[in-house]
Amino acid sequence: MQHFRGGVLEMEKCPKRHNSMMKAFYSDHFVLPLPEGHRFPMAKYSMLRERVATELFGVHMLEAPAATVGELALAHDPDYVKSVQSGTLSPEALREIGFPWSAAMAERSLRSAGASIAAARVAALEGIAGNLAGGTHHASASQGGGFCVFNDIAVAARVCQMEHFRLTKRTLQVLVVDLDVHQGNGTASIFANDPSVFTLSVHGEKNFPFRKVESDLDVGLPDGCTDEPYLEALEGALETVLQRVKPEFLIYLAGADAHEGDRLGRLKLTEAGMQARDQKVFDWAKAHGLPMIICMGGGYGRDLKTTVSVQMNTWRLAHAHWLHWQNRGL
């Protein structure tokens, strides 16, 4: 299967030794200044980058490029994009997002979306790449919400499709597997009635958002759900996906907030259960030959070190998946 080849220039900027390493894109050094006591755990991004840098020597980290206005407009209302950039969002819109506006907030949002775009371009060539942040699935076409400004998942999917179509004159079938504990309402709304992007969300049924937007496949789980029923539900959902669509590219939102130590999650998955969840997704992608990207989504651990440990397990498995992809056919 021929895939889009956007991002070749980005790859050529890397030293040759880094072309034999998995790529991860980061934007945490574009610091979003938050008021003292703000409940969003911004520190988790730099903590994750530090651990990946010191523990996963097979991963090469690259600064995320800023998404362009044209790229954002593939999934967002241009007037909304302009309002974010210019700082003219209404007080109501900012309350929905949960962050105060600043030039740094706008820049970081551009970089977070750009990281998923860049990862998707690399994944088309190398099988898998990732965003050390992203997963901003509550942002819809014309508004943000739930700490999400731009929907990096939707923008990356649209860029993939556009660049694939330029080469093949055929629409790329994208699958979004959203395993954040919160339902992906923004992603669902952007792709409503669009069969070229299939959205799967496995989430806490009674958790935020309380007014959910229907995905192509929603699996709502009860509070307190543990490892075994969660993994059974995920396996059943992936089987259902194949009955309804033939995906060619996978975007995996690997939220850490389904872990039992998350203060907002309300599910009870152990660290081993979270690893089994990730492994199931990687094995499924491997079985069906799907290039994929990973993005981090939520994670609000009572102890942030636990959240980052869950995310590190995801990255270790992702790197093993990357190695498998490079060794195919050998």
pLDDT reading at 12 higher than 50: no
Q: CA-to-CA distance for 75 and 142, rounded, in angstroms?
A: 9
User: Where does 8-325 sit in CATH, by number?
Assistant: 3.40.800.20
In the 3-class helix/strand/coil scheme, how is the chain assigned residue by residue?
CCCCCCCHHHHHCCCHHHHHCEEEEECCCCCCCCCCCCCCCCHHHHHHHHHHHHHCCCEEEEECCCCCHHHHCCCCCHHHHHHHHHCCCCHHHHHHHCCCCCHHHHHHHHHHHHHHHHHHHHHHHHCEEEECCCCCCCCCCCCCECCECCCHHHHHHHHHHHHHHHHHCCCCCEEEEECCCCCCHHHHHHCCCCCCEEEEEEEECCCCCCCCCCCCEEEEECCCCCHHHHHHHHHHHHHHHHHHCCCCEEEEECCCCCECCECCCCCCECHHHHHHHHHHHHHHHHHCCCCEEEECCCCCECCHHHHHHHHHHHHHHHHHHHHHHHCCCC
Could you say which of 76, 137, 138, 203 is catalytic? Answer: 138
State the pLDDT at residue 6.
40
**What does each C-alpha distance from 320 to 82, 128, 326 come to in angstroms?**
40, 10, 10
Report residue 7's pLDDT band, with 50, 70 and 90 as the boundaries: very low
For all residues of the chain together, what is the average pLDDT?
Answer: 93
pLDDT tens digits for range 19-66: 789 999 999 877 788 888 899 999 999 999 999 999 999 999 999 999
138 catalytic? Reply is yes
pLDDT tens digits for range 63-88: 999 999 999 999 999 999 999 999 99
Q: CA-to-CA distance for 123 and 59, rounded, in angstroms?
A: 14
pLDDT tens digits for range 186-243: 999 999 999 999 999 999 999 999 999 999 999 999 999 999 999 999 999 999 999 9
pLDDT tens digits for range 252-303: 999 999 999 999 999 999 999 999 999 999 999 999 999 999 999 999 999 9
Q: CA-to-CA distance for 241 and 251, rounded, in angstroms?
A: 14
Query: What is the value of pTM for the model shown?
Result: 0.94
Nearest to 248 by CA among 124, 131, 159: 124
pLDDT tens digits for range 156-196: 999 999 999 999 999 999 999 999 999 999 999 999 999 99
State the pLDDT at residue 329.
60
Identify any residues that bridge with 221 across adjacent strands, giving them in sequence order.
204
State the pLDDT at residue 30.
78
124 touches 168 (CB < 8 A): no
Q: CA-to-CA distance for 317 and 92, rounded, in angstroms?
A: 40
